[in-house]
Structure 1
Amino acid sequence: MPIQPVGADSVTGTVELDPPFADGLADLDGFSHCILLYHFHASGDDAPLSVEPFLDDEQRGVFSTRAPQRPNPIGLSVVSVESVEGRELTVGGIDVVDGTPLLDVKPFVPEFDVPSETETGWMDASASAIRSKQADERFL
């Protein structure tokens, strides 16, 4: 499993909503990307406040990382919208474990979601390093 959606460019997945929520997918097919919020149901109950992230070999505060072991185990992925059919959303760039409980779907809007100026703190990784990393025992 890729660590981040950027490492899963070629991975396609299906998000299946419960029938009462199917109508909520209306008009999402007009967006190129969406944000998936989900529950890290497989990450366990032990949520240290300091972790060794996948792009570093030093302990970092969990809130400055994308580690799935979190005090409140909520994940976020920006994925491409491939199609919407009924209650199924087909997406590209998915990095989520099969069966992960979905909390919400939101459209990705660059004007809202991409700040004009950013800094990445301790994380100074090349795009190739991010794209090549796969999940290990720390991220299951």
Structure 2
Amino acid sequence: MEVQQLQYQSIGVVHSPFTQQAGTPVQPSHDNATQGIIEVAPQYLDALLDLDGFSHIWVLCHLHQAKPAKLSVTPYLDNKPHGLFATRAPSRPNPIGMSLLRLQKIEDNRLYVVDLDLLDGTPVLDIKPFVSQFDNREQSQCGWFDTAADHVSTADDRFV
């Protein structure tokens, strides 16, 4: 198999009260309604047309403070090691993050979001609308997440 070299450019940046991984919510669903702003580069302003009709958005980003990946990690939500691809640990071969955020409002090129779990300065790679008909699955299994012994809601220093 040939490994391809890829290159992306950010389309914007996250403005967040969180500056380090420790203390940051591990997922948007574990947040306490933290507010933030996604500032989209001006050349993408037209791409925001009609996005204001959605309650939630998927934000794909580059986890700029992630450390080098390990193939086995002990994630925030458990105390046992798991294969990296069976977790949402931030330290990955390609440190791409995804967050499902509540979209509060849009003003010019600024998206006001709630339930933020991203660090300040996080480069944004893409924004997609949450569409319940596509994104919900009635039947799903969540592997070890279903039986995780330790339910941590904020990041600690595991990946620092």
| TM-score of the pair, normalised by structure 2 | 0.80
AA paired with 1:40?
Answer: L
- Corresponding residue of 1:5: 28
1:97 aligns with 2:119: yes
Number of matched residues?
Answer: 136
CA distance in 2, matches of 1:91, 1:125: 31
CA distance in 2, matches of 1:125, 1:96: 26
Deviation, structure 1 residue 139: 3.8
1:32 aligns with 2:52: no
Percent same amino acid at aligned positions? Answer: 45
1:68 aligns with 2:81: no
String of CA shifts for 1:19-69, please: whole Å, max 9, x gaps. Answer: 10112111111001010000011002x200100011111110011101000
CA RMSD across the alignment? 1.6
Moved over 4 A (4+): none
CA distance in 2, matches of 1:56, 1:136: 12
* Uncovered stretches (5+) of structure 1, i.e. residues with no partner: none
Which of the pair is proportionally richer in helix?
1
- Corresponding residue of 2:41: 18
* Uncovered stretches (5+) of structure 2, i.e. residues with no partner: 1-23
Q: Is the 8 A contact 1:23 1:87 kept in 2?
A: no
